[in-house]
């Protein structure tokens, strides 16, 4: 379960500071009760005012962190706080410390300034302390995530720009004959290039049959291209009520391309509702096409418990849903036929994914390799077997049912592309592009399937959006407006 939904002694400093703030408010109320007790028949107006002020300060502290409050300006959600603070005894010290401090402030002020002036000064001093404590709540637990995963080896290699003038190229594929296909995110566009010496020359530039404002994501060549002159792409689908994803096939004919929808109505993130888990990664492994779908969570809050009405991500575990899955079809010429590995009536190959935005192929097994974007880190590379459960959203770590080849842990790298090539000394190498850490990495994998040390080979200003390899192991990767070639001696020219 996510950390906010389970019993935990792992209390953050914001939890302590929030409880301390409540203790400050409690101290003001106690000062009022103390004054009321000591009044002995005198007019208790000041004592009642103190007690009321303490209650108001306590309510204000709660409102400032209430999840749905319009005053929610402090970086702390109350429900996760209450869940993490179940061992209340561990917080008693903070609460009593705050209460003692504000009690001492109020009583001291009343001793120095008798009457209402002293009470007012004490309340004002306690309010200042409470404000400082709540200010500290907002800053105490702001995460400091590393840019690159722990233990990453740095081996920066040279890169050469081979295509420029692009609009966020999220899709990249290299054909057996060296042709290069590029899909641009928005405005959604398709480009086809042919190799020309050290670079590429553009053969085709076309749009997709979707309205302006919709996006395109990934592309893959037909395995027998160019004998079968087809490319396959994932793009958004027009819809009245919600955004959807579709798989389309493009037939290349001279300088033009004709698009046909093959699979429609697939899950896609609802951007207007805060969703950003598009999935959409595609790859051919032999005659099988694999496609990843995101959980399409609309609230983006991993602390919400499963099966609450607003939670969508739980469908990643639902075999009657296409959300959070890897799907499979078999090629029959240029057509696709459903090829499920799970008996559910849907083309399901595996399930339990969060946002499989990058899909590649493991040539040895014919199974897909998926780079799944995790929550607050825990971005993972997974070799996906038929029928396997990859555990989202049952846990953040997702390592009990099917262990990943690689896990970024607390580093938020946001994988965008994954490709495989043979390694010079045996085994294979997985090449991964990432947006958040703006980098290109190489992960060596032995012939027995054991992953080695992650290597940082390129830093990409503005983020890396896609990566592809050819039969020689030459690596091409994309930045925000260009495609680059990695100069590691694997590109024969």
Residue pLDDT, tens place only, 80-110: 555 554 445 456 667 777 777 777 777 777 7
Single out the residue of 21, 4, 308, 57 nearest to residue 140, CA to CA: 21
The predicted model scores a pTM of 0.73
288-292: average pLDDT: 98
Asked if residue 145 is part of any domain, the answer here is no
Are 280 and 395 part of one and the same domain?
yes
Are 132 and 185 part of one and the same domain?
no
**What angle (nearest 5°) sits at the alpha carbon of residue 370, between those of residues 484 and 325?**
135
Domain count, the chain: 2
Asked if residue 111 is part of any domain, the answer here is yes
Are 314 and 408 part of one and the same domain?
yes
Rg from Cα positions in the chain? 29
- Average pLDDT of the chain is 85
239-243 long-range Cβ contacts below 8 angstroms, 24+ apart: 242/268, 242/270, 243/214, 243/268, 243/269, 243/270, 243/271
Are 7 and 66 part of one and the same domain?
yes
Are 112 and 168 part of one and the same domain?
no
Strands ordered across the beta sheet of 180-184: 169-174, 180-184, 189-196, 199-207
Are 365 and 239 part of one and the same domain?
yes
Are 197 and 314 part of one and the same domain?
yes
> Taking 60 as the threshold, does the pLDDT of residue 164 lie above it?
yes
Which residue, of 105, 140, 175, is where some domain finishes? 140
pLDDT higher at 17 or 356? 356
Burial class (CB in 10 A: 0-12, 13-18, 19+), 56: middle
Are 377 and 408 part of one and the same domain?
yes
Share of the chain above pLDDT 90, in %: 57
> Taking 70 as the threshold, does the pLDDT of residue 123 lie above it?
yes
At 87 the pLDDT is: 47
Asked if residue 492 is part of any domain, the answer here is no
Asked if residue 146 is part of any domain, the answer here is no
Phi, psi (degrees; rounded to nearest 5) at 298: -95, -25
Query: Which pairing describes strands 244-253 and 367-372: parallel, antiparallel, or unpaired?
Result: unpaired
Are 35 and 97 part of one and the same domain?
yes
Are 135 and 163 part of one and the same domain?
no
Q: Which segments of 39-115 does DSSP mark as H helices, in order?
A: 45-65, 78-84, 89-112
> Taking 80 as the threshold, does the pLDDT of residue 70 lie above it?
no
CA distance 123 to 129: 10
Strands ordered across the beta sheet of 216-221: 216-221, 230-237, 244-253, 256-267
Asked if residue 461 is part of any domain, the answer here is yes
Are 198 and 309 part of one and the same domain?
yes
At 200 the pLDDT is: 95
CATH code, domain with 331? 2.120.10.30
Residue pLDDT, tens place only, 431-485: 999 999 999 999 999 999 999 999 999 999 999 999 999 999 999 999 999 999 9
For residue 265, what pLDDT band results from cuts at 50, 70 and 90? very high
Domain range for residue 97?
A: 3-140
Distance of CA 405 to the CA centre of its chain: 18
pLDDT higher at 46 or 283? 283
270-288: average pLDDT: 87
187-211: average pLDDT: 94
């Amino acid at each position: 379960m996510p950390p906010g939904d389970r019993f935990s002694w792992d209390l953050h400093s914001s939890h302590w500071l929030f409880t301390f703030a409540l203790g400050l408010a409690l101290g003001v109320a106690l000062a009022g009760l103390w004054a009321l007790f000591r009044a002995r028949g005198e007019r208790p107006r000041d004592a009642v005012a103190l007690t009321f002020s303490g209650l108001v300060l306590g309510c204000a502290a709660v409102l400032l962190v209430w999840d749905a409050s319009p005053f929610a300006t402090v970086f702390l959600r109350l429900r996760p706080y209450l869940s993490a603070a179940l061992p209340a005894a561990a917080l008693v010290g903070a609460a009593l410390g705050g209460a003692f401090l504000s009690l001492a402030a109020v009583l001291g002020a009343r001793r120095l300034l008798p009457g209402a002036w002293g009470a007012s000064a004490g309340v004002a001093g306690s309010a200042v302390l409470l404000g400082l404590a709540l200010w500290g709540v907002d800053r105490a637990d702001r995460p400091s995530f590393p840019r690159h995963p722990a233990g990453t080896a740095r081996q920066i290699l040279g890169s050469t720009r081979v295509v420029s003038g692009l609009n966020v190229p999220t899709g990249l594929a290299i054909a057996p004959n060296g042709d290069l296909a590029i899909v641009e995110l928005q405005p959604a566009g398709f480009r086809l290039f042919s190799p020309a010496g050290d670079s590429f020359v553009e053969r085709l530039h076309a749009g997709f049959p979707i309205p302006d404002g919709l996006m395109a994501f990934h592309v893959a060549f037909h395995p027998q291209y160019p004998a079968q002159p087809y490319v396959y792409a994932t793009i958004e689908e027009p819809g009245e009520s919600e955004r959807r994803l579709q798989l389309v096939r493009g037939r290349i004919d001279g300088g033009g391309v004709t698009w046909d929808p093959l699979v429609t109505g697939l899950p896609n993130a609802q951007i207007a509702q805060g969703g950003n888990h598009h999935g959409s990664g595609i790859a051919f492994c032999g005659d099988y096409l694999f496609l990843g779908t995101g959980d399409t969570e609309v609230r983006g809050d991993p602390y919400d418990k499963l099966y609450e009405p607003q939670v969508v991500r739980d469908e990643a575990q639902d075999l009657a849903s296409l959300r959070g899955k890897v799907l499979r079809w078999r090629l029959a010429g240029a057509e696709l036929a459903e090829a499920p590995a799970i008996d559910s009536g849907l083309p399901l190959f595996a399930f339990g994914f969060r946002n499989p935005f990058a899909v590649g192929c493991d040539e040895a097994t014919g199974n897909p390799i998926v780079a799944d974007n995790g929550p607050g880190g825990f971005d993972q590379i997974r070799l996906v077997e038929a029928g396997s459960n990859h555990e989202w959203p049952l846990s953040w770590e997702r390592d009990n049912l099917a262990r990943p080849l690689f896990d970024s842990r607390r580093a938020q790298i946001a994988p965008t592309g994954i490709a495989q090539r043979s390694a010079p000394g045996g085994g294979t190498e997985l090449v991964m592009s990432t947006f958040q850490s703006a980098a290109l990495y190489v992960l060596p994998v032995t012939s027995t399937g054991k992953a080695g040390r992650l290597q940082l080979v390129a830093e990409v200003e503005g983020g890396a959006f896609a990566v592809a390899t050819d039969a020689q192991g030459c690596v091409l990767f994309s930045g925000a407006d260009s495609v680059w070639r990695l100069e590691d001696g694997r590109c024969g020219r």
